[in-house]
Amino acid sequence: SITALACPIARPSDRPDARPPMSCAAHRSPAAAAAGLLLSLAAAFGGGVAAQSCAADTCPQQRPRDARDQALLQTNAGLSAVQAHDHEAHRASELERPLAARCLVVTELADTGRHRNQFQAVFHPSWRQMVDDPSPGNYTVDLMAFCEPAACDIVPAECLELAEMESPDPLGPARCYFQRLRESYAKSVPYKFGLSLNFMTTTSFAAVAKSYAYIMRSDADAVLLPGLRHWVPEHGSAVGDGFAGTDFTYKRLEKVAKKLGYHHHGIHGMQSTFYVRASKIGTFSGMLVNLSNHFYDEEFTPLICKEVESQGGHCAWADWYRLVSTLYATDIAANHLLGEPAFSHEQVSAKLDHCATSCYSKEYGDNGFLAASPFKARDVAQVHLLSTKHHLGKHFLTASTKEEFCTSAKETWPGLQAPRTQDWGTADESVNTYFLRVLSGSLPKMCNY
């Protein structure tokens, strides 16, 4: 999360923060540095995977179900006999019919108590709830965590470990994977927010990307919803919608883009989640990392801040704020690279980072009140709990230890079960009900209730 105490969307203490190492020496221009990095990444990713359609008799044959597939069919011991039969039939249908595209959701799992708790309580369980839905879907959605080594121990047993340079199986039912980052990863860079992106510029990530048509990057404080099984970006790629600064911010971003030699289409208001064609993910990630480094190192110097002040702005949230360098990088990289052919307003989607900087609550005095969302769970791909986690119940989603998490969760709901609503588990389930249903399944398991 990229947030500060001064406003609903800027709390720098939300995660450990770091930028990836600069890809160029100080004497090289940012544009030249970016060009070199982008070329090398494009070569590593080899063009990615495009969505394909084919007649049944010309599609690759699905491989036989193996023990891993069978384990995925037995994930919910609490299912009734009828539910278990439907669950098995759903998994069998996934094996037997080709889908339009296979997609991957990735996150970097930091070794902090807060991120461990959020991954176990919401991120992975919401994916599991989504793929266990027996209703038909258009896309197979895999999940993968790139974890700091000490954090890998909380990844569920169903998730398969991939070695460096190993590619996932592109056939069969939805699966969960993880890969261990190197021991030096968390300490490799000073800008900690950059850690959530840096792994996407490696050759190991390129090997993973080749198995997919689309890849979504999300923070771990997020809910994955059924919309992921029914939607991929209409224009090839999409970025999450949300407040990222003032008019001053946006005008200055356009000036920086021009200075660095990048195209900008005047489209702003993006948050941190992106859903991109695999054929573009390497190039986009490389540019995003390079620009994040540039902003953090070059755009908040005393001289630059003096210029900002002289133009009526402030080197602080929400005008020009160093700790959201990755958001500024996303703005420029999306405008420059994600258009097909030109980046459009339609590519800034409310289906991603949903309620991150909207869904206002008078009770909260802040955004993130999921009950205010007008959408059904099936119409949204991802909810970012940027503000929600600071207000829900006794704030268990911001707890820094497992013990604190469970204590606060029990104070919120003594039986660790959220109040049930009329749309609980229905086809018309709301975003909020889906989220509460996830927690009602994960909290008892986490807290041994």
Q: What is the pLDDT of residue 327?
A: 98
Q: What is the pLDDT of residues 44-83, one digit of tens each?
A: 454 433 333 333 333 333 333 344 334 333 333 333 343 4
| pTM, entire model | 0.80
Of the candidates 223, 74, 68, 82, the one whose C-alpha atom is nearest the C-alpha of residue 160 is 68
- Whether the upstream peptide bond of residue 121 has omega within 30° of 0, thus cis, is no
State phi, psi for 160 to the nearest 5 degrees.
Answer: -90, 135
pLDDT at 22 over 70: no
Strands 139-147 vs 222-224: parallel, antiparallel or unpaired: unpaired
Per the document, the length of the chain is 449
pLDDT at 128 over 90: yes
CB atoms within 10 A of CB 306: 11
- Write out the two tokens for 282: 């390497």
Report the range out of 3-17, 45-59, 181-195, 273-287 with the highest average pLDDT.
273-287
Of the candidates 391, 388, 381, the one whose C-alpha atom is nearest the C-alpha of residue 353 is 381
Of the candidates 147, 194, 191, 182, the one whose C-alpha atom is nearest the C-alpha of residue 288 is 194
Assess contact for 10 and 279: CB atoms under 8 A: no
What integer best gives the mean pLDDT of the chain?
A: 84
Q: What is the pLDDT of residue 100?
A: 60
Strands 101-109 vs 176-180: parallel, antiparallel or unpaired: unpaired
> How many whole angstroms separate alpha carbon 22 and alpha carbon 412?
44
Secondary structure in 3-state letters for 74-138: CCCCCCCHHHHHHHHHHHHHHHHCCCCEEEEEEEEECCCHHHHHHHHHHHHHHHHHHHCCCCCCC
Q: What is the pLDDT of residues 361-387, one digit of tens each?
A: 998 899 999 999 999 999 999 999 999
Least confident of 183-197, 231-245, 294-308, 342-356: 183-197
Assess contact for 31 and 260: CB atoms under 8 A: yes
Q: Which amino acid is at 282?
A: G
Share of the chain above pLDDT 70, in %: 78
Q: What is the pLDDT of residue 363?
A: 86
Of the candidates 172, 140, 167, 178, the one whose C-alpha atom is nearest the C-alpha of residue 46 is 167
What's the rounded mean pLDDT across residues 23-49?
Answer: 42
Q: In the block, which residue shows the tokens 């003096």? A: 306
SS3 breakdown of the chain: % helix, strand, coil, rounded to 5?
Answer: 45, 15, 45
